[in-house]
Structures are given as structure tokens and as C-alpha cells.
Amino acid sequence: MAIRKFLSFLLQTIMTGLAAAFLYVLLINPDLLRNNGTVVNVIESPQPSEPQVNEPPQTGEWNGPVSYADAVEKAIPAVVNIHTAKIITHRVHPLLKDPIFQKFFGDRFSQARKELQTNLGSGVLISTQGHILTNNHVIEGADQIDVMLADGRSAMARVVGTDLDTDLAVLHITAENLPSFVIGDSRRLRVGDVVLAIGNPFGVGQTVTSGIISATGRNHLGITAYEDFIQTDAAINPGNSGGALINTQGELIGINSAIYSKSGGSQGIGFAIPISLAKGVMTQIIENGYVIRGWLGIEAQDMTPQLAKTTGLPYTRGMLIGTVINNGPAADAGLLPGDIVIAINNQKIEDTSEVMKTISRQVPGTLIQLNGFRNGVPFSTEARVIQRPDRKKPES
């Protein structure tokens, strides 16, 4: 009997102690009562961090990257070589079709002569579905487009759409297990950032060159209608067009497009289309088959003190209207050559090229307000943006 009472007392003591310990653990770790069901791991793209600034190297030490091989290895599978072919038909001079000429020489000179013209370029795989970004001038007029992948495979490409105003084109190939680029943020580029250019210069095969960002936002170059180029001293040569400009993480930040050269080779001044611009154009081409752009029907330039003195107009910061297209939105709104527009939608004009880009991004049908001066007298008007002519949806 005594043993039974002792065991009962001992059991109660143990249970009390366990209860007290459990309550104590809950007090210091309340998460134990929360639901710990199945956890779904979602991998998100890391938020962009502030650029790291390297500390000055100590004497005899080097703190820069030893190699960019990791970035290149990551990017190069998504860079393709593009081979195009088109048949050029040479017209026959009317004299060669003359019956008298043919009487003596026959008709062998009167037949149209055909010539096969080939071209080389580069492109970047932008999706695993087979979409490729390249320059329009690489594939323009081509009758046949062959794409050579980095792994040795080849495929025939079809043109999804082109955009003359940015010199971009979207192609599509059908193949399995295609690589694609990781898209970087070209809006965060700084002068001095290291970049690498990958392409097929002179048809020698995939080649990598390195350099830095020399400038951003380059325009007024006369290369395309809408210019916002990245300038780099990474060597870009004929055949590099349409290739990749990447950062040191292997991310795509630009499409190599043009070089400034008197010899035809690289002279340290190359231009690439920022991927932020190219991606928007590509999306519209894939979704619509063409790029939708707003248009006012004007040609304009920055107003400067020198221009004001030359034209006899009062100087005020803004854009000087040079040409107004007949029956265009600007003409319907009453704009005239010589008008100085100082604000659009109450936003002061600092740069004419930026204004034209802003107008192009407007959805056709959008009403915009323009404020300016005509012969020194303020005016205000409204214009309705329309789709840019000759860039409408193709006839089906």
C-alpha cells in the first residue's frame, strides 16, 4: 500500500515537472504552437543592391576580377550566329533586248542575271521558346535565315516582326532544350562599368571582347529614328551586329548594333541598344506583329541661344518646330513651323529627343496638351496622338 502511494506521488511529481517545463519552453519559443505544414520554396530574383565600391588596393595587391570566364560561360550558350541569303536580280539594260542587238549576239545577254548574296551576323536567344533578338539590318530582305547555336545545332528561322525605327528584329526557331539569357537592368548602368561583347565578327566564330561603358543615352547619331544607345569601347566589328552586350554577371544588358569607324573595323566606339528598350520592342512584336507608336507629325530640334539668334526668334528653353506634316495631328492642332513648344502635359521640355520618345510611347488616341510661344506670344493647344504612318498592322 505504501509503495502504491509512493509511486502515485512520484508520477504526479514527474507530470507536474513536465507540464512546467513545457510551459517554460512555450514562453521562450512561442513559434512551437504555429502551423508548420508543408513549406513552398519560392526563388525570387534578388533585389538590386547598391554597386559595391572596391577599397583601394594595397601596394603589390590586386583586388580586381582575375577572370570573366564565369560570366562568359553563363552567357555564351544563348548567343547564336546568323547566316542569311538572298537572291539579287540584276535588271537588263533595254539596249540588250533590242532585236537588232539580239540578231547578232542572240538573247544570252538579255536574260536577267541573278546573284546569291550572303550576310553574317549574331543574335541572342531571349526565351526558351525560341525567340531571338537581332538587328533588322542583319536579316533585312533575306530569303533564307539559318541560325547556328553554340552547341553546334542549326535551325531555320522565320521572321516574327521587325522595327525599322530601332533597327531590331525578332526571329523564331523550333528546337528542344534551348538556352536563354538572364535579362539585366540596363537602366542602372554607369559609365565605367565593365562589359563584354559576344558575337561572330567577320564570321570567324563566337568571340568575346571586353571594355567599359563609355557613355549612356547616346542620341543624335543618325543611326535610327529612336536612339538611346549604350556606348562602349569593347571591340565590336562587322558580324557582331545583333550579338550580346553583357555585364560581369553574364546578364544581357544590350544588343550590339553599330560601330563608329572610318576603316570598317573597331576603333573603340561601339553602340548597343539597351535591353530595356529592346525588350519593350520585342514584346510588342511578339504580341502584335508590329510596334505601336504614337505620332504627332512634327520634326523639331532643341532651341538654343545660337538658333534663336539665327532665326530671329526670342530664346526660350524648349523645342523649335521645324516641319509640320500636312493633315497630321500637330497640323490639326494648329501648330506651325517656328513655334517653340516649352511644355507637354505641363512637363517642361529639357530635351527634344526625350520628348519624341515620350510621344512615341503614347497610345494612339491619347490627347496631349502643348504649351509654347509663337512670335513671343504664349499659346496652348491640344493634339490627339495617332498611330505612326507606315507602321500600322500589316494586311492579312
- Overall average pLDDT of the 210-231 stretch: 87
- pLDDT over 70 at 186, yes or no: yes
Give the domains, in start order, of the chain with CATH numbers. 72-172 (2.40.10.10), 186-288 (2.40.10.10), 294-387 (2.30.42.10)
Active site residues: 137, 167, 241
Q: How far is CA 92 from CA 96, 100, 101, 103, 114, in A?
A: 7, 16, 13, 17, 11
Angle at Cα 345 formed by Cα 343 and Cα 349, nearest 5°? 25
Confidence of residue 43 (pLDDT cuts 50, 70, 90): very low
How many Cβ atoms are within 10 Å of 24's Cβ, its own excluded?
10
- pLDDT over 90 at 122, yes or no: yes
pLDDT, position 306: 86
Nearest-angstrom CA–CA distance, 174 and 131: 9
Nearest to 124 by CA among 258, 244, 239: 244
- Overall average pLDDT of the 96-116 stretch: 60
Q: What is the pLDDT of residues 241-257, one digit of tens each?
A: 999 999 999 999 999 99
Strands 144-148 and 79-90: antiparallel
pLDDT, position 388: 83
pLDDT, position 195: 95
Confidence of residue 277 (pLDDT cuts 50, 70, 90): very high
- pLDDT over 90 at 3, yes or no: no
Q: Who has greater pLDDT, 278 or 354?
A: 278
The chain-wide mean pLDDT, for the chain, equals 80
Confidence of residue 337 (pLDDT cuts 50, 70, 90): very high
pTM for the structure as a whole: 0.71
- pLDDT over 90 at 214, yes or no: yes
pLDDT, position 38: 33
Confidence of residue 304 (pLDDT cuts 50, 70, 90): confident
- pLDDT over 60 at 22, yes or no: no
Q: Who has greater pLDDT, 389 or 151?
A: 151
pLDDT, position 104: 56
Classify 345 in phi/psi space as left (phi over 0), alpha (psi -120 to 50) or beta. Answer: left
Amino acid symbol at 59: T
pLDDT, position 53: 41
Q: What percent of the chain has pLDDT over 70?
A: 73
- Overall average pLDDT of the 146-158 stretch: 93
- Overall average pLDDT of the 46-50 stretch: 46
- pLDDT over 70 at 369, yes or no: yes
